Amino acid sequence: MKIGKLLLATVGATVLLGALISTASARNFSVSNQSISGMWSSVEFNLPSGAVRCHVTLEGSLHSRTFAKVLGSLMGYITKAILGPCVSPGTATILTETLPWHVSYSGFRGTLPNIDSIIVHVTGASFRVNNGRENCLARSEAGRPAIGQFHRNTVSHEITEASISGRLPTGIECLGIQGTFTSDSGAISLLGTQNVRISVSLI
C-alpha cells in the first residue's frame, strides 16, 4: 500500500514538474489574430524648443499566428499610419511613403509563464514635426528604434493596452538633435473593430 502511494505521488510530481517545465520553457507566442489596430489619443513629440501632441492610429499585420521568443526576429509590419489632429500651433506629418515599417520582437516583462507585457521595436517609422519654431524630420533606425510595449492580462492573456515611445535622431535641418516621443495608453484591437481584443498565449 505504501509503495503504491509512493508511486502515485512520484508520478503526480513528475507530471506536474513536466507541465511546469513545459510552460516555463515555452519558446513561442500564439496570437489570436494577425491583423491589429492601435489608437492613441495623445502622442507627444518633443523637440528642444517645444512639443506637439497628436492623435495616432497604426494598423499592421503579423507574419504568422505564432512567433518565437527570439530577440530581433521580424514579427510583421505596420502598413498604415494616420496622424492627427494635432494640438495647435504645432503640426506633424507621417511620411507614408516609408511604409511598411518593420516590427521586431525585443523581449518581455514579468516572469514566465506570467508575462505582463511584450516589447517590440519598430524601424523605419518616419515623420516630420513642426512646433512653430523647428521643423524636423525624424526616423527610427536599428540603433534608435521606436518602442512599443503591449500590456497583457496574465489571466485572460488579452492585450489590454499599449504605449509607444522613442528617442530618435532628426535630420540635418535640425542638426541631428535627438527628439523624443511618448504616448498615453492606447487601445489595441482586431483590425476593423474597436472591441475585439487580441490575446497572446505561450506555447
Residue-wise pLDDT tens digits, 140-167: 999 999 999 999 999 999 999 999 999 9
Question: In this structure, what DSSP letter does residue 174 have?
Answer: G
In a domain, 126, yes or no: yes
**For residue 157, is it within any domain?**
yes
The residue ranking higher by pLDDT, 21 or 94, is: 94
Rounded-to-10 torsion of CA 64, 67, 73, 74: 20
| Residue 22 resides in a domain | no
pLDDT at residue 104 greater than cutoff 60: yes
Whole-model pTM: value is 0.85
Higher per-residue confidence, 49 vs 43: 43
Q: Which domain holds residue 56?
A: 28-202
In this prediction, what percent of the chain has a pLDDT beyond 90? 73
Query: What is the pLDDT confidence band of residue 25, given thresholds at 50, 70 and 90?
Result: low
Residue 128 falls within a domain, yes or no? yes
Instruction: Express each pLDDT in 106-141 by its tens digit.
Output: 999 999 889 999 999 999 999 999 988 899 999 999
Q: Establish if 81 belongs to a structural domain.
A: yes
C-alpha cell at 78: 505596420
The pLDDT assigned to 142 comes to 93
The domain total for the chain is 1
Q: Is residue 12 part of a domain?
A: no
Q: Which helix (H) or strand (E) holds 15?
A: helix 2-24
Specify if 13 maps to a domain: no
**Assigned domain for 187 exists:** yes
pLDDT in tens, 179-199: 999 999 999 999 999 899 999
Rounded CA-CA distance 33/52 in Å is 33
